[in-house]
A and B are shown apart, each in its own frame.
Chain A
């Protein structure tokens, strides 16, 4: 099975799933092993959905406050970013970006 990143587990939909699994496990309705299978499936489904179902493109700018590359993962802290997503524009004071290398899954 192709390896998929687990980073999307920390997104809202991922944490909602993990919370739900936690509840079922603590109720004794689910084994942790099966929960891990569900999470693995989630890794796959969310990755594929973002690749194939999401079409929108975004551009943004900002002041790079912190940058770090560790284990093929880039982390950026951007001050005053301004986003353009489709026809919407928004800004905020600070945003953190966590990015894994696109080329890793599937190739290894």
Chain B
């Protein structure tokens, strides 16, 4: 019942938003068909989420097709099959940001978008914009190519060092000192792991002051061996490291939420007052949306009592 009410309110909100931005769309020179498409997508996604009973939307047959499967879902006697779908939908939906395309719209949506794009007179411009926006995503990957460039340069520079040759005597002078300290060899081995980093840093150092300690050149000469052994894997590792770092940090954030506090049941609301006496909390909340068992419930005011 509350869920039914939710659907009515949601429909009113959708209608209000769509009519309120109509002028804005006109001012931006955006075809009215786009606005209708926005409303249709919005309603379709909301109906597919099965969070509420929606009043039958008049007009296009598509609404019937979309709404009819929603009716059995709306019977509260079948919550088990629904919430999992809802979970997938919401968790997937929370992550994307603007500009990212979701494949979840379904074939009909895609077909409509395609026909809409084709039927529009501004198709070429829109296509260009579409390409721009699509290419906005892979930019990080493109950046990785410039990032991947320097290592090859580094390898070339490193390769140019041995002809100077004088380093090798430098090594020989350095080595007699080092063999006494067996730590030097263990110290060299880790360079395999961080070959690129030490390469870049030492080369930067050597470029800025070519006469710096022979130890730098020594390190360079040794790292050449690493570079010869597998320069391309090293570069790939570098790229992967950059990408995976970004991905990991995102994933970690998501995981932290997921393991710690994330639940499919959530209340989004505002608070009037939050008070505590010892371990008893009282909250006066208002204007809230409660998502519970895959259903949305709305409340104007709520009082809550918790024990900590």
Contacts and interface: CB of A to CB of B under 8 A. Distances in A.
Interface of A: 5, 7-8, 10-13, 15-38, 41-42, 44-47, 49-51, 53-64, 66-67, 69, 74-78, 83, 85-88, 90, 92, 94-102
A52 to B, nearest CB: 9
Interface residues of B, number: 89
Contacts of A90: 292-293
Interface of B: 1-2, 5, 9-10, 12-14, 16-17, 20-21, 24-25, 28, 30-31, 34, 37-38, 41-42, 45-46, 49, 51, 90, 93-94, 96-102, 104-105, 109, 113, 116-117, 120, 125-134, 261-263, 265-272, 274, 281, 283, 285-293, 296-308
Contact of B9 (A19, A54, A75): A54
A59 B270 contact: no
B66 to A, nearest CB: 13
Contacts, number: 265
Nearest to A73: B271
Nearest to A86: B2
Contacts of A64: 281, 306-308
A64 B269 CA distance: 17
Contacts of A20: 38, 41-42, 45
Nearest to A5: B270
Given A10-B94, A45-B16, A23 B109 contact: yes
B37 to A, nearest CB: 7
A15 B99 contact: no
A17 B262 CA distance: 22
Q: By DSSP majority rule, is chain A's interface helix, strand, loop, or mixed?
A: mixed
B130 A26 contact: yes
Contacts of B98: 18, 21-22, 25, 32, 35-36
A75 B105 CA distance: 32
Given A88-B1, A98-B269, A26 B302 contact: no
A76 B271 CA distance: 12
Contacts of B125: 28
Contact of A30 (B30, B97, B104, B262): B30
Nearest to B86: A12
Contact of B263 (A24, A50, A55, A96): A96
B128 A59 contact: no
Contacts of B296: 11-13
Nearest to B47: A16
A26 B13 contact: no
A34 B105 CA distance: 21
Contact of B268 (A8, A18, A42, A88): A8
Contacts of B304: 59-62, 78, 97
A56 B283 contact: no
A13 B10 contact: yes
B9 A53 contact: yes
Given A27-B126, A28-B133, A98-B266, A37 B300 contact: no
A31 B100 CA distance: 13
Contacts of B9: 49-50, 53-54
Contact of B93 (A19, A51, A54, A97): A19
